[in-house]
Structure 1
Amino acid sequence: MVLESACYDVTIIGGGPAGLYSAFYSGMRDLKTKVIEYEEELGGKVNVYKEKTIWDVGGLPPTTGAQLISQLTDQAFTFQPTIVLGEQVIDIKKMDNGYFHITTNKNRDHYSKTIILATGYGILKQTKLNIPGAEKFETTNLYYAVKELGKFRGKDVVISGGGNSAVDWANELEPIAKSVTVVHRRDQFGGHEKFVARMRNSSIDILTPYAIDDLESSQDGTCCIENVTLKHCENEQCQFRKTDAVIVNHGYQPDLSFLDHNSIGLKVEERRLRTSNQMETDATGIFAAGDISNHSSSIPLIAGTFTDAALAVNAAKLYIHPDADRYARVSSHNDRFKSQ
């Protein structure tokens, strides 16, 4: 039998923006809270673009990813939740008493009255460039993430991809790089319209529909990419670019394997969980927030995850305490802050 003292009110799986705000709001609702994060640091996918500027979070001026992580983490720690890093959830079972037994890859057991899944699209594995031998350049000048903008100052840069990351990095690098070339398989880009327009109206060289076909190594023995072959996706004609750096933004391969054969009734739709507009999943007592949630009002923005998180926590509170208020009190009137 699990001791009540060992059981949390809410266990949040995932330490990205949705998970961190869930932790804060759970504290607002006076719930004993734990966060389990697979990586060794909090921040989720935002860690991939710490130097990128984030524009679309309400009330914040343009903010770097690193600053956003820092502020979200500070906020999440307001009510001192338990934080578990470096553990991957591999199984969730519901016990006879209605509580949940969570097992991780470190053979640790966690117990909770409710769960909020804030895993995004799961453990993210970057989609690598499908060219034989490309991996040998990953230690020199083939990049799948930009961690230091200054590293590309004065360089000729080729970016492959057409989503938000490719568009944003192109715009960020255009003022400091010697040249920026963006290669995409389709004529249309998937980034935010404003930033796609900014890219198109800049000095950035855009090649569509093209894809990287080959990487040519330098002759100085440093195993650096010196030339890139770019092939037209329709007529197969090739162009060649001399380059100092290649950045690949081809998205991620999600891993939500712990949901594939779950025994608790979670319904997975196109690698996301079916949820109600109150963030309830098909498994009673388990809620979702952020990108993993597939509901009719879902907004694929960091800002949208904050609403999801609050709704999930409120639903968890009512699940544990059916007579509780539907929402937390406004923070300026909340007694929980008097001791902070």
Structure 2
Amino acid sequence: MKTEQRDIYDITIIGGGPAGMYAAFYSGMRAMRTKLIDAKQELGGFMRTYPEKLVWDVGGVDPIRCERLIDALERQAKTFDPTIVLGQEIAHLERHEDVFVLTSKTGECHYTRTILLCAGRGMTQVQKLDVEGANRYELTNLHYVITDLSRFKDKRVLISGGGDSAVDWANEIVKLAKEVIVAHRRDEFTAHELPVAQMRASAKVMTPYMIDCLHGAGDSIGSVALRHFKTGAIKQVEVDEVVVSHGFDRDFGDVLNWGLDREDYGVSVDARMRTSIPGIFGAGDFITYGSKVRLIAGAFNDAVLAVNSAKLYLEPTASDMAGVSSHHAAFFEKNKAILQG
């Protein structure tokens, strides 16, 4: 196979969520020729499903709306002008000597010396409410994704779900709503302890209950029948808005057919983010290892370790990590421009 040198990248990042965007920035700090590919038409990954949510746990950053955090990460990712390709889902992998060939479902080929998998939660599809007639309310007051919190002001809101998203939305909406009811089919919530405690203190929690039936006039839900998961008893609650947060189905496409070692929750990597295939690395929610932290902050750390490993794979005598930004030559002129501005 003949490929021109200018078409071969040092590292190609698959996935444009927080891990992928930070890896694009950090690989620039390591002077690597970088390409980032995402199957969607915009960067942000799974964070795009909750643009209005407040994010508290990124180090050194005040509580910030997720959409603003995405914008900041995207600007940072473009610092060193990586090539960014959107709307291409990578399907096929080949290796020709020291070059990987990645082929998208639309036929485009990408040539790279290393690969960094940051596929996050894959191509996600929301788990919809399995109740007869639920789809008729999706354009009015049945919500799977929240893009505008203001619509819940002074409303009676029912939230169905027990994970982090359901609990986080309850804690956000309760600040605006007239009443928030959280229904979960189990007694215990799988979300983090502190948000759960905050929710229990401010919202009405009904467990173990699940949505049995929606009642409405026209195209809007007016009340919901909740069924006790153990006894079958029904309770009727009046509502203005219903939020369903039952999680997402994940689809990683053909990447999982490449022969990568994996476990129940992600592709396996070692402490240096190396997969079972030499030259392929991983970061973010797509991977798993013993001390894995599934936070945005953890994705950043994964990205740094993975890029450093990719750099050493290409150049075994390179330094173990990039120089800190305050002493990094790449920032000298940028710092001057900022300070003078």
| TM-score of the pair, normalised by structure 2 | 0.96
**Partner residue, 1:43:** 44
Deviations 1:10-47 (A, max 9, x none): 11000000000000000000000011111111111111
SS at match of 1:172: helix
Shift, 1:66, TM fit: 1.0
Unaligned runs of 5+ in 1: none
Please say if residues 16 and 42 of structure 1, whose CA atoms lie closer than 8 Å, have aligned partners that are also in contact. yes
Shift, 1:178, TM fit: 1.2
Q: Does 1:307 align with 2:301?
A: yes
Q: Does 1:34 align with 2:20?
A: no
**Partner residue, 1:292:** 286
**Partner residue, 2:273:** 279
Distance 2:291 2:4 in 1: 39
How many residues align structurally?
Answer: 333
Please say if residues 121 and 271 of structure 1, whose CA atoms lie closer than 8 Å, have aligned partners that are also in contact. no
The one-letter code sitting in structure 1 at the alignment partner of 2:295 is: L
Distance 2:133 2:115 in 1: 43
The one-letter code sitting in structure 1 at the alignment partner of 2:277 is: A
Equivalent of residue 333 in structure 1, options 305, 327, 334: 327
Q: Does 1:13 align with 2:14?
A: yes
Deviations 1:220-279 (A, max 9, x none): x3x1111111000000001111111111111111101213322xx311211510100100
Alignment of structure 1 residues 1-150 onto 2, 5 Å:
1-95=2-96, 97-150=97-150
Distance 1:10 1:339 in 2: 25
Shift, 1:98, TM fit: 2.0
Please say if residues 40 and 87 of structure 2, whose CA atoms lie closer than 8 Å, have aligned partners that are also in contact. yes
**Partner residue, 2:257:** 261
Please say if residues 121 and 272 of structure 1, whose CA atoms lie closer than 8 Å, have aligned partners that are also in contact. no
Distance 1:101 1:137 in 2: 45
**Partner residue, 2:338:** none
| TM-score of the pair, normalised by structure 1 | 0.96
Distance 2:136 2:191 in 1: 30
SS at match of 1:338: helix
**Partner residue, 1:319:** 313
Distance 1:121 1:62 in 2: 24
C-alpha RMSD of matched pairs (Å): 1.0
Please say if residues 265 and 287 of structure 2, whose CA atoms lie closer than 8 Å, have aligned partners that are also in contact. no
Q: Percent identity?
A: 45
**Partner residue, 1:216:** 215
**Partner residue, 2:337:** none
Alignment of structure 1 residues 178-193 onto 2, 5 Å:
178-193=178-193
SS at match of 1:201: helix
Distance 1:178 1:67 in 2: 27
Unaligned runs of 5+ in 2: 335-341
